[in-house]
Amino acid sequence: MKISTDQISALNKKQEDSYNSELDFLRNKFAKRGIEVDEIIHKVADFQVAIPSWALGAGGTRFGRFSFGGEPASLEQKLDDIGVLHALTKTAGAVSLHIPWDIPSDVKAIKEVAKSHGISFDAMNSNTFQDQPNAKETYKFGSLSNTNAASRDYAIQHNKDVINIGKELGSKSLTVWLADGANFPGQNNFQTALNHTENSLKSIYKTMPEDWKMFIEYKPYEPNFYSTVIQDWGTSFMLSNACGERAYTLVDLGHHLPNTNIEQIVATLMLKGKLGGFHFNDSKYGDDDVTVGSIKPYALFLIFNELVYGMKNNPQNPDLSWMIDASHNTKDPLEDLLQSLEAILIAYTQALLVDQKALKNAQQENDVVKCQEILQDAYRTDVRPVLKAAREKSGAAVDPLQAYRQFGVRKDLIKERGTKTMATGL
Ligand code: LRH
Ligand code: MN
Ligand code: MN
């Protein structure tokens, strides 16, 4: 299943006029404030988000899995699916692999498939939260923090193996997420567990190539319900500082206790030059991993407002590695990812429209009401014409979801792969 540029431009032609008048309205409105919509169109067209190899099946990350039909049965097919997303949006030009869920059996062949779709290899994800069939050591009581040196070494070695696979693929970063923790008080010694984790991470960090980054992901609970070793951004920040310059904190939106002020965490980390990666999703209760922007779009906008501010004002912070970490079991997974990509670009565009100069003045004058008005004026702007123009510019479909349905992608995938399919991995 491959979508050609001709197919896309033929479809786009039919839509050309429909958004231009709305775009002109936005251009005029924001030019008066010194905000150039055409510059924003450029930025939006350039924005790239990695798709995780585990989000392409109608899986959900836990509990029941129900087939949607036409799901990918191999890494090659997963790349083909990302190829569809990228052809339609020109925003999904990277994949993030989870090892060993998606070990490439033939690196050269996998690289070829990726190249044919214009896909690069973003952060590699290691997995020390599950025992694999022939595992020599168990992670039942932790991996990098385990009281048992043999288990720790085994987990360290796995991370080194992941780096080596990533090197062959052309990836430049490793994401470490640990499930390590305790289910009951007294089960582990907090200080020992943290020390072990720090030493293990340092040992992995030392073997990374000089041009690689390490992203340390945190999460307050689940699968452990009493304590998690890397429970919050502060712990991740401390560990990344201990590892070195090229170790950073990774923020996953679902990895916070309810009502945590994530935008403030983003601002603090960027100020300190330590925000490295981002996992997008949305949630109502915990790490729900539902479609980006489906539950709390205003929170997403406020987070992007800090990201945009940081990208402009914090040269000490590196370029961020963006990824969608969402998947569940009721929607067509590709439509779900298209909706997530749309939500990300909407929040990004709205944040770019914030009148930063006026906001700064209002903050200086402590005009609280005006500050809120400025933010909400940007948030309440329908920016979809900007997204359409950005897509037209980059050769993507002006309306990717509509194009996906019109081209009958899922029908073709089912014809090709069958109805009773289950994506590999997980
Ligand atoms: C953990 C997590 C982490 C894993 C992924 C499957 O909850 O967010 O990023 O690698 O889910
Ligand atoms: Mn994550
Ligand atoms: Mn998660």
- Could you tell me what percent of the chain has a pLDDT over 70? 98
For 62-76, 300-314, 330-344, which range has the lowest pLDDT when averaged over its residues? 62-76
Tell me, what CATH number does 227's domain have?
Answer: 3.20.20.150
Which ligand 1 atom minimizes the distance to the CA of 217?
9
Q: Flag whether 34 is in a domain.
A: yes
pLDDT digits (tens, 9 = 90+) for 232-241: 999 999 999 9
- Minimal-distance CA residue to ligand 1 atom 4: 177
Q: Flag whether 370 is in a domain.
A: yes
**Do the beta carbons of residue 329 and residue 60 sit within 8 Å?**
yes
Q: Flag whether 423 is in a domain.
A: no
Range of the domain at 136: 5-417
Q: Flag whether 426 is in a domain.
A: no
Domain count, the chain: 1
The reply to whether ligand 1 has any atom less than 6 angstroms from the CB of 102 is no
Residue 153 alpha carbon to ligand 3 centre in Å: 24
Residue 251 alpha carbon to ligand 3 centre in Å: 10
Per-residue confidence (pLDDT) for residue 18, from 0 to 100: 82
The reply to whether ligand 1 has any atom less than 6 angstroms from the CB of 125 is yes
- Minimal-distance CA residue to ligand 1 atom 9: 177
Give long-range contacts, CB 8 A cutoff, 24+ apart: 292-296.
Answer: 292/253, 292/324, 292/326, 292/339, 292/340, 292/341, 292/343, 292/344, 293/339, 293/340, 293/342, 293/343, 293/344, 293/346, 293/347, 294/339, 294/343
Closest CA to 96 of 171, 18, 31: 171
Q: Binning pLDDT at 50, 70 and 90, where does residue 59 land?
A: low
Q: Flag whether 191 is in a domain.
A: yes
Q: Flag whether 345 is in a domain.
A: yes
Look up residue 245 and give its amino acid: E
Per-residue confidence (pLDDT) for residue 231, from 0 to 100: 98
Can you read off the two tokens belonging to residue 256?
């916070």
Q: Binning pLDDT at 50, 70 and 90, where does residue 62 land?
A: low
Q: What is the mean pLDDT of residues 111-122?
A: 98
The reply to whether ligand 1 has any atom less than 6 angstroms from the CB of 252 is yes
pLDDT digits (tens, 9 = 90+) for 161-192: 999 999 999 999 999 999 999 999 999 999 99
Q: Binning pLDDT at 50, 70 and 90, where does residue 135 land?
A: very high
List beta partners, residue 278. 251, 322
Q: What is the DSSP string of 56-116?
A: SSS--SSS-----SS---SHHHHHHHHHHHHHHHS---EEE-EETTT--SSHHHHHHHHHH
Q: Flag whether 99 is in a domain.
A: yes
Answer yes or no: is pLDDT of 64 > 80: no
Q: Flag whether 220 is in a domain.
A: yes
Closest CA to 274 of 238, 306, 249: 249
The reply to whether ligand 1 has any atom less than 6 angstroms from the CB of 177 is yes
Per-residue confidence (pLDDT) for residue 169, from 0 to 100: 98
Q: What is the mean pLDDT of residues 265-270?
A: 98
Answer yes or no: is pLDDT of 345 > 80: yes
The reply to whether ligand 1 has any atom less than 6 angstroms from the CB of 399 is no
Per-residue confidence (pLDDT) for residue 105, from 0 to 100: 93
The reply to whether ligand 1 has any atom less than 6 angstroms from the CB of 217 is yes
Distance in angstroms (rounded) separating the CA atoms of residues 343 and 352: 14
Ligand nearest to the CA of 61: 1
Per-residue confidence (pLDDT) for residue 17, from 0 to 100: 75
Look up residue 35 and give its amino acid: I
The reply to whether ligand 1 has any atom less than 6 angstroms from the CB of 327 is no
Which ligand 1 atom minimizes the distance to the CA of 98?
10
